[in-house]
Structure formats: C-alpha cells, structure tokens
Amino acid sequence: MAHSGRRPGESRTRERIATSAQEAFGELGFDGATIRLIAARAGVDPALVHHYFGTKQRLFLSVMNLPFDVAAVKAQLLGPGLPGVGGRLIRYFLSVWDEQPSVRPILTGIVRSATTDPDAASLLRDFLGRQGLFQLVGAIAPDRPELRAVLVGSQLIGLAMGRYIVGIEPLASANPEDLVAAIGPPIERYLTGDLGSG
C-alpha cells in the first residue's frame, strides 16, 4: 500500500484519520465513535474518511491492529518450561495493558465494540481463537485445546473489563504481582490441569 503512488500529503491525512479513529474507538466503542466525530478530530471532511477507508466497519478493522508477535510471546511463556506458565501469561497480559500506552485504547476499543458490533466480536474471537490464544494453548494441551483457550480467554476478558474498562476496585489498583499470584494458578489449571469431565 505504501507504493500505490499516493502523494506524501495523502499518506499523512490517512494516518491522521487512522490515529483519530483508534482514539475514538478506544474511548467510545464502535457505536459511540461516529465517522463525523472521527473526521472532526482529524480535521477532515467525513467524505474523506469514507474515501480512504470505506465503511465504518472497514475503518475499524483497518486501524484496530495489534502489534503482537505470537511466536515470540509463545517462546517467552513456554521457554522456562510448563510450570508457572499461568503466572507468566497473566504477567505478560498485565504488562501489555499497563506498559504499552498505544495498545491499551485499541484493546479497550475491541472489547467495548465487541459487545455490540459483529465485526469487532469476530476480531475478539480471532484474538482468543486461532489467531492468538489458541496457538499458545495448542502447543501445551493435546486434549480439548479449544475449550482450554476460551476458558483462559474468559478470565482474561473479565480481568480486562474489571481492571481497565469498568474499573472495579480493588482490581483496578491491585499490584500486578498480587494478581499474578491470585490468577496465575487458575489460568494454569485451565491450560494444563484436569478440567473435571469430558
């Protein structure tokens, strides 16, 4: 796309729209962030947003990209061996939210939007499924990897909702290592333990 013959001014405008869209989706969710608002924040006409990105759905999917290298994360979590993998996953998850300012509004936007928009829901399903968590779980658990992935995913979504999106105390201000100690073992049970039936 960078070589499609766009002039530099066009690239900058496109980038400004993308940034304003990321911020608006992050703050307001898919429904709340209107094309009109995104355009106003970027200082352009709404028609230009449609010109560069098409529909609101396509704009959302274009800008909500997460810079995760799944293979690298997998190596980091599984490198030290299986024991402790639950705690390492929680520590990694918290570090993404706590320490990567540019990623947080994107993740927030995806979770917010997934509650009402089918495209965002599909993105979240991918992230928890074949594109993301499933690759980690598939490398660990030979039995019922899909169920294990969604069990882990459900705890991670709930943690994100409580700590970052809705802000429920004392979850919101808890020390990360306290959460690693409390939530790590349940996550490890979902990943490697006996699921109790099946």
Count the neighbouring beta carbons within 10 Å of the beta carbon of residue 174: 15
Closest by CA to 26, choosing from 135, 98, 109, 92, is 109
**Look-up of token digits 């320490």:** 99
Q: Which amino acid, 57?
A: Q
In the shown chain, the binding pattern of residues 150 to 179 toward a second copy, with x for contact by CB under 8 A and - for none, equals xx-xxxxxxx-xxx-xxxxxxx--x--xx-
Q: What type of residue is 187?
A: I
- Should residue 111 be labelled a site residue for a second copy when binding is judged by CB under 8 A? yes
Among 59, 93, 112, 191, binds a second copy (CB under 8 A): 112
Q: Which amino acid is at 82?
A: L
Residues 33-92 that bind a second copy (CB under 8 A): none
Query: How far is Cα 148 from Cα 171, in angstroms, rounded to an integer?
Result: 24
124-143 positions binding a second copy, by CB under 8 A: 124-125, 128-129
| Alpha carbon of residue 172 to chain centroid | 18
Q: Does 121 bind a second copy (CB under 8 A)?
A: yes
Quick check: 26 binds a second copy (CB under 8 A)?
A: no
Q: Which residue ranges make up the site for a second copy (CB under 8 A)?
A: 28-29, 31-32, 111-112, 114-116, 121, 124-125, 128-129, 146-147, 150-151, 153-159, 161-163, 165-171, 174, 177-178, 181-186, 189-190, 195-198
